[in-house]
Structures are given as C-alpha cells and as structure tokens.
Chains A and B, each alone.
Chain A
Amino acid sequence: MTAALRETPAPTNPPTKTVTLEIDGRTVTVPEGTSVYDAAKSLQIDVPVLCHDPRLRPVGVCRMCVVEIEGARTLQASCVRPAESGMKVKTGSAVVVRNRKMLCELLMADQRPASARDATTGDDQLFAIARDLGADASRLKSVTAPAAVHPRKRDNSSHVIAVDHQACILCDRCIRACDDVQGNHVIGRSGKGYGTTISFDTDVPMGTSTCVECGECASVCPTGALTNKPVTIAMTPRNTLKQVESVCPYCGVGCALKLHVDTAANRVVMSEGRSPSGNDARLCVKGRYGFDYASHPHRLTKPLIRKETAYPKGPLTATGRREDDGTRGADVYPDYAQALSAFREATWDEALDLVARRLREARDRFGSPAMAGFGSAKCSNEEAYLFQKMVRSVFGTNNVDHCTRLCHASSVAALLECVGSGAVSTIYRDIENSDVAILTGTNTTSNHPVAATFFKEAARKGTKLIVIDVRRPDIADHAWQYVQILPGSDVSFYNAVMHVILEEGLEDRAYIEKFTENFEALREVVKRYTPEVASPICGIEPDRIRLIARTIGAAKAMLVFWGMGISQHVHGTDNARCLISLCLVTGNVGRPGTGLHPLRGQNNVQGASDAGLIPMMYPDYQPVANDATREKFQKAWGTTLDPNPGKTVVEISHAVEKGTVLAMYVMGENPFLSDPNVQRVRDAFCKLDFLVVQDIFLTETAEVADVVLPSTSYFEKTGTYTNTDRRVQLGRPALDPPGEARLDWRILVDVMERMGAKQPYRGIEDVFDEFVRLNNSYANLAYRHLGGAGKLWPCPDPENSEGTVVLFGDGFPTKSGRAKFSPAEVIPPAELPSAEFPFVLNTGRTLQHWHTGSMTRRAKMLDAIEPEAYCEMNAADLVRLGIADDAFVRLSTRRNSIRVRVRATHKVQLGGVFIPFHFREAAANLLTNDVIDPKGKIPEFKFCAVNVEAA
C-alpha cells in the first residue's frame, strides 16, 4: 500500500533573512523577526520574564524583561522588541537591574507573604525573580493602598483551580491561554487602573462561569493566582516528583502528557501537556485532571471466582434492577460489598487454571464457533494484537470484535470500500492548511477537546468551518455556517450539495478523471437530489444548500471531519460514502489541508482495529477469508485458522441470546452499558456457559462473570497506542499495579499457554515487534522511535521522519489504484416517531465522562463536575409538556424506560431528546435500538422513537 502514499513535501521556505547583533558583548546571528529575548536565549543568557511564555503570543505588558539597547531612549521589553542588525544590547547593566528590582518590589508589595504556587508545584516565577534580585517589598508596603479598590478575593468555586486575585499581576497569560490556545474566551479583565482584576465571564465566580476546566490558564500562570487544586494527595514541588512521559488514556486525540508521580505514595500528583507533540502541550479536563481513577479503592487486586451459591447468574447490584431512579445515589457505582459477596478471592494459579480449563472444555464440547471475545479500544496495540491472536489461534474462531463496532465501523466500511484504507487521510492539525472544513456529526469540543482547540484556532485564522449537526454543538460558535439538519437526513443533504456542485460545474474534472472510478453512477443518483427535493427532507432551505455547495466547490483545500453523528445510523455507511464522494468529486484528497478524517473516539480505536480486533480481518485489515493471508498467519502463529469471518459485537450478543455462543472472554469492555438495547444483552449474558472478564474494576458486565481477572490500568503499563491521526505513541508506566493486579498482556499469555499454546515473548516489546512484522502499515517501527511525538504510520524511515501526514497523494491502495464513488440513496431511520413515541432520541457523550463511566466516574474531579445523569430537550418542548427545567422525566421507548433529569436547552432541536450514555443509574442504552447498518454492522445509537412524560 505504501506505493500509493507519499510523504508531505517539505515546506519550501524562502531563504530566511538574518540579523546580527551584540548581546552582552557577544555576537549572535538570528533570523529576522526574532525577539531580543529569544536571541539572548540562544546565547544561554537568561532574561527574567513574567508575561512571556513561548507558547503564547508576546504582548510585552509586564516590563520585567527590559534590557538596555544602545541608542534607545528608554529600556526596551526584550520579549516584544525584534532584534535588529547592529544592535548592542545589555541584559544585566546596573540600570536594567535597578529597574527590574523596583518593578519586582512594586509587584511583591501586593503579594501575600507566601505564594500558593510555591506551596503546591513550587514554581512561582515572581517569587523566584524576587529571590534572585533580592527584592525587598517591605519598604513599599506603607505607601501602597491598604485595601485594594476592588476586593481582591480568593475564589475557590472551581472544582479544579484555586483563584487568588491578590496574587494576580495581570500579566495576561491566562487570558491568552484561554483565548488563543484553548479558544474558550472565558477570562477577561474587569475594571481599570489599580482595581483591575482578571474576571470570568461577567465577573462571576470561576466555578459558575462558562469555564470548561481545561486547566490551560493555571498551567501558564506565573504566580499563585491560578493554581491547580490537589486531585488526590497534596501537591508537592515538581522537583520532588518523578516525571513520566506518557499519553492520555482517554480520547482518540491521544494527547502527549507528562505525569508527575509521587513514587512513595504510588500516586500521580499532576498531569501536564508536553511538546513537541501533536497536541502541542494542550490538554482537556480529562487529560489534565482525570488520572486518579487508577488509584480508586474499587480497583480489583485479586482474581475472583464466582461462588457456587451465586448461580444461576443474574446482575448482583442495582444495575439492571433500579435504573428507575435516575438520581445520584449509592448506585453511581455497583454496590461493591454486595457484588463482591458473590465472589471469592483466588490465587492466580487457581483462577488461570479454571479459565483455561473451562475455555478448553467449552471449545471442545461446543466447538470453536461457540466461543467469542470482546477486546477493547482502550487497550494497547500489543494487548489488542494478543487478544485477537488468542481468540483466533487458541479459541479457533474469528468471533472477535470490540467497541469500534459501536463507533466507526460504518466509516471504516465505507472508507475501505471507496478508498481502500480505513484510516484518516490526514492529521487533525492539517486543518491549518484548509480554507474550508466540514465538521459533521461531531461534538468536537466535548469529545475531542484538544482537536477542537486547533479547529477554533483555524477558524480564527480564516478557515471557514461548516458545522453540520442535528444538535447544535458548541463548536458552532466558531462556524461560518451552522447547518441544523433534521435527524437522519444526512444523505439527502450531501447529495443535494453534490447535485449543485455538478450542476454548476464546480467539480474537479481532472481529479475525477485521474484518480476515481464509478463517477457516472454518482452523477445518476445525485441528479435527482435537487436542493428543492432535499430541502423538505433535511430541513435546510435550497438557497443555503447552494451557498454551501458553492463554498465547498470554490475551496482550494477542504477537509472533512466526522464523528458518531454520521456513523451510528442504519445508514451510517451511506453517510460516510457521501462524505467520501464529496471529497473525491471536488478533488479534496491527498493534498495538505484536504481529506477525510473520521475522529476516533477512544485512545486506541485506530490501533485496536489496526491490530485486528475485527471479525473479518487480521492485523492491517488483511481479510481472514483470503487463503494466502490466512496461510501467512497460520505460519506465523503455528496453528490452523478458521477461514470464516466471525460475528460482530451485536451479532455476538444476539448469538449469546440464541445460545449459539456459549463461552466468552471480555477484556476491558462493558457491554452492559455500552451496547444498544442493553437489557437484552444483560439477559443474554446471564445464559453464557462461561464468562471471563479481565478488567480493572468490577464492571456491570463483570457482575455476571464466572471469573474476574484483575488487570492493570493505563498508568501501570508499557504499550503503544495509535491515535486518530495514525500517530503511534508509547505509553509508559507511572504507577505500580495495586495488589496482585497483573499486566494484561501477561494474563493473555498465561491463558494461552495454559490452554496449550506456547508463546515466544520475553517482554512486551517482543509482542510489538511480532505485531509489526505482520502489519505492513507499521513496518520499521520500534519502541525506540515512539517516545516524544510518536510516529505517523506508515513511516518507512522512522529514524529521520515523523511519518506520513497526508495519504493518497498519488492514488489509492485499491486494486485499480483509484478511489470508487459509491452513491447512496436516502433510507429512513429504522424506528420513526409515532403517536405513542413522538420524540427522536439521540445519544452521545459529555466533556467530562467517557464511555461507560467506569473510569471517569471514579475520577474525583470529573465526577464532581458532572455528577449525575441527565438528558437535554428543547426548552419550547418542555414548556409545551409543562415540564420544568431540571425536573425528572420518564423516557420510554419500545424497549425500556428510564427516569432522568432533563435540562432545557436550545441546542437540541424541537422534537429531539439528547442523552449521554455514561450513567449507569439512567442507562441510555436501555432505550436504544439494536438494529444495525447492513454493511458496517453498527447499531443505530443516534435515532430511535421515544416518549417523554413528567416523572
């Protein structure tokens, strides 16, 4: 496939002009435009700064960095003063030092005696400068105002950040961090003169403002004004902690971060973004504050075996029985005492022997097709690889799947069909090269928050964002056009857009000619979708469709991002086909700033799929049905393999219900909350002859397990993870596993070996190397390349290159080398609203929580910020139903009903209900419809008919 790929051309920079100047008697040559401060830095001359931070736009407001420049009338702020040829600079002359010291004393006169920053992370920059200069503010105390004009208070209202206005020096760093880095625009200034303070929104307490707790402001604040609150244990100065470079365990953005670890306490104390990396040191609330679940007392520390008395199996705790009361109560977590009483602790030997024996018996008695495994997109590439190897080579079946089936299976199906590769064609930050970007079916600020910061930045710099979504996502605030289509009407909208493009001759003929096939079929289909035909279906006026089509047609570079709003439909594959066609027809693939980017939800969705956790494919999407491929894997694994593609997630659950799948291995998945029509799944799983669950907590699914194997959290192991960009990064262990919890890969190897299949690994790195040998896309990669910013696969030359940014520059990895148009017709959603169920239910996620909440609800800060289940409805619908904001409603579908609080909003359109699915006490998936897309086999999480009553 590499033939069809190309490296991004190195940017052809014009030769840079340079300037030569003298700093403290030394000569230095720097590119034109370099600040005096940076020029000094290149000579290792340290100039003290307060308002300046290399990640922020320089503003020059604090004057701490002043230097003497020969001939200049006054001292100059070096952070904003460009270096000029012939300049003579003195950074430490007597007058400079006198000025700095005076300034420092003036600032210190307003400070409290001790800095909150020094007391936590130990890095107050103002106090450090004062110490360096020997600044003594006491002589000024008598002349400064006794009480500030504005009450300079402490504000402890935010869950994660402590604000002390008294310590604020108005350096503007937090404002730039919030505006320019994160694009949240929460912080401003209130007042003028001496009474000025930073303020949140309309000067309300931080905790009630629109702040999204990303922590960027606290990470750049140089004083004790904005400091992180301790997450688990008290903060100690960073130089007392161990630093571990790792990757965020949560979403597909895969932010590179640095963990600060108290090794004695075996706790992570703080997490910080790191750079150089894809995320440029940015993090969201989950990455920055959500690490403590690993130290939660609920962690499993010993293997558990179900007691004889706990049969027949049924849910042990409130789950499955008392969702009825959607309030936050004891049932936010499974009742551990109750659940654990059904199990007895066992030794590893006993548990592993039992697992191996029962699985072997099941395989021999019921046959391999009666076995199945659910892996997880939260596990590493190595773990995913080993898991599918175990199911395939030891269980003897291809019944292995994971949660990607529930998120992007349809996107991948469409991509494989049309362009021959399921991965993104370019990285999320390539948006900086786009003049138009479509964001559709993605609530990016919640689900890919750090990617969203780059989208907002691009929008500020002129990229036109076209946001298309049934529920108004917050990123729409930054959009050129926000298009609120009707639920399930995607195909009609995109077909109409393509209709206009073709009608008005805006297509890229040369591209279509050279790189695609089946264009006539597309033309035939979209011919019928005039804007006038599509408008009543999608709810967008014909002229707006035309405007958008013309903008897309005129774009020099257009990039399409999409999420679950596209994929989780019975027509999910069709939706994705339309997006692919749209890019192809306008020639927007294979150049910087163009392409297709399905935003991956979980940290290793891409990697787990690459590693073959897919029932019809071996690693690297090599079909199991292909004889030559199978031969290759048989040889590599030394077994015979099943030539029949296996079952997908929902198909496996249905087979369990029918009794055709009888034994299952579940690693890190929680289908009891994550799967559609979950009651059916729960009932079915109780019938399993044998279920082993490998996890870090006793999940809802583990409650019906025969054996539970305690494994390690992200923070305790080494492994590689492939983010949404195809960026392979190395996660490193920061903590020791609790109790007897064991590394996941070791558990898998133990089980395989006890089932009679010897494994050749000396360590986890050997697993990676074997995986790489069988996966061309990862060719040449090894652990030593994957620290730092990681590598973008394919990466033929990892020693010298960061890997491939843009794919498909000169064709596609299909048989013909061309991409295929696959036109789609409108199919209605499977379950339309009726008189009895008049609303449309849409499920999704929140910023703070993640998947089934087993991790985030055990992360103190995340749980505190969003503690309880809720749903959202249009305020006008609530008024019509006579239901108050924040009251309880009962949501009922043809399958089940739950009670949950409702929030009034204008983001949800009339007739819609939105509900996040993380909350076990009001599990959204009791309601959802388990009908699946015929090609992608993805369930229709985004659309079912629901009734709403006051409750």
Chain B
Amino acid sequence: MTTTKRVDPAELAKLPCTGPSFDDLRGKLDPIVARYPQRAAALLPVLWVVQRARAGWLHPKSIREVAEYLAVPQAHVEGVITFYTMFKDQPVGRDVVVVCKTLSCRLRGAQEVMDALEDHFGIDMGGTTKDGRYTIETGECLGLCDMAPCMTIDEERHGNLTPESAVKTLEGRPR
C-alpha cells in the first residue's frame, strides 16, 4: 500500500501554481470583499473562490496573494487554512472525496467502506489516486447521518454505502 506523502511545506512553492492569474480573479473577489465592513472579514469566501479556481488547493503563491489582497499576514492565512479541513494547503486530486468517520457512520460500517477504498485504490486515507483523479480522506459528521455510512465527492452526496457501492460510485463516474 503506498502512502501519499505530504509535500514538505518548504518545497510547495516549487510546484506550479495553476489556474487564472490573481488579477483575473479580482472580478469575482471584489464583490465578495464589498459585502463586509472590513477586508479581512472576507478571508474565508475569498480563499474558497481562489482554491476552486486554482486546482483545488492553495499554493503558497495563492496564500501570499490573498494575504496581500486582504491586508492580512500570510501567517494568519496559514493558520486559517490549516484549521479548516475544506481548505487544502497541499495538492489534491481532481475531485476530493470525504468519507465520514463519525459515530453514526461508523456504527453502520464506515470502516469497511474506508478499507475497501484503500484496498481498491492502493492508497491510505488522505492520499491521492495514482491517476490524480481522487483525493480520498476522512471527515467528521457530514450531516447525512440518515443515510449512513456516507461520503461526499466534491459537492455531491452519496449515502447508504456498502464497500462495493462506494468503489463502484467512484469508478463509475465519468473520467
């Protein structure tokens, strides 16, 4: 089983920062900032837009640009990003899969679902499939306890999973 290693934060800056230039994003960001009394207050939604536009993760360059744009220290943005699991400070697959690991789901077989996904894709939870298609990780209660065990694929919800249906769902999606 291969483990996808975290890239050393010091090396991240060497990876390409793909996606539109920050100037091209301003059109989307300025109206968000305008909704708040202080620029810094727009941090979360601004980061979200930038992350989605730029390959699903926040490259150090993105962090620097957002920090400058909102006049907050980079260190502060780093703290926010590493606190909220939906922000990624590491490269991710094209789609991010979150398998719920909280109580209701566990009682209904979440562990088996995770094991199946790890076996099938040959990665640990938190890793990215070799084809770069999925990053599969665990998360706390997704609010879908009524269809436990469950997972999300980006913004899609999938419930009442079995180990087989979870694998099939991921493999069955258009490439």
Contact = CB atoms under 8 A, between A and B. Distances in A.
B98 to A, nearest CB: 17
Given A190-B82, A191-B82, A192-B82, A204 B75 contact: no
A185 interface: yes
Contact of A188 (B12, B60, B64, B76): B76
Contacts of A171: none
Contact of B78 (A179, A188, A208, A477): A188
Interface string B9-33: 1101100000000000000000000
Interface in B76-130: 76-79, 82-83, 89
B74 interface: yes
A217 to B, nearest CB: 12
B45 interface: no
Interface residues of B, number: 18
B71 A203 contact: no
User: Among the interface residues B76, B77, B82, B83, which one has the most CB atoms of the partner chain A within 10 A?
Assistant: B82
B49 to A, nearest CB: 19
B130 to A, nearest CB: 24
Contact of A202 (B12, B71, B83): B12
Nearest to A192: B83
B40 to A, nearest CB: 12
A808 to B, nearest CB: 36
Contacts of A202: 9, 12, 60, 63-64, 74-75, 77-78, 89
A210 interface: yes
A681 interface: no
A186 B71 contact: no
A190 B13 CA distance: 17
Nearest to A478: B71
A199 interface: yes
A204 B76 contact: no
A187 B10 contact: no
User: Among the interface residues B12, B64, B77, B79, which one has the most CB atoms of the partner chain A within 10 A?
Assistant: B79
Contact of A477 (B60, B71, B77): B71
Contact of B75 (A191, A199, A208, A477): A199
Contact of A204 (B10, B71, B73, B77): B10
Contacts of B60: 202, 204
Interface in B124-157: none
B9 A204 contact: yes
B76 A190 contact: no
Given A202-B60, A202-B89, A210-B74, A188 B79 contact: yes
B10 A185 contact: no
Contacts of B74: 185, 188, 201-202, 210
A205 B78 CA distance: 14
Nearest to A197: B82
A203 B9 contact: yes
Given A202-B60, A202-B64, A203-B9, A187 B75 contact: yes
B87 to A, nearest CB: 12
A208 B10 CA distance: 9
A189 interface: yes
A154 B89 CA distance: 21
A188 B75 contact: yes
User: Among the interface residues A179, A190, A210, A477, which one has the most CB atoms of the partner chain B within 10 A?
Assistant: A190
Contacts of A200: 75
B73 A203 contact: no
B13 A204 contact: yes
Contacts of B9: 190, 199, 202-204
Contacts of A201: 74-75, 78
A186 B83 contact: no
Contacts of B89: 202-203
A764 B83 CA distance: 60
Interface in A884-907: none
A192 B140 CA distance: 14
User: Among the interface residues B9, B74, B75, B83, which one has the most CB atoms of the partner chain A within 10 A?
Assistant: B75
A28 to B, nearest CB: 39
Nearest to B9: A203
A205 B10 contact: yes
A192 B63 CA distance: 18
B46 to A, nearest CB: 16
Interface of A: 179, 185-192, 199-205, 208, 210, 477
Given A186-B75, A199-B79, A477-B71, 9 more contacts: A188-B79, A190-B9, A191-B82, A199-B75, A201-B75, A202-B9, A202-B12, A202-B64, A202-B74
22 contacts: A179-B73, A185-B75, A188-B73, A188-B74, A188-B79, A189-B79, A189-B82, A190-B9, A190-B82, A192-B82, A192-B83, A201-B78, A202-B9, A202-B63, A202-B64, A202-B74, A202-B77, A202-B78, A203-B89, A205-B10, A208-B10, A210-B74
Q: What are the 7 tightest A-B residue pairs by CB atom distance, in nearest-first order?
A: A188-B75, A185-B73, A203-B9, A188-B79, A201-B74, A202-B60, A190-B82
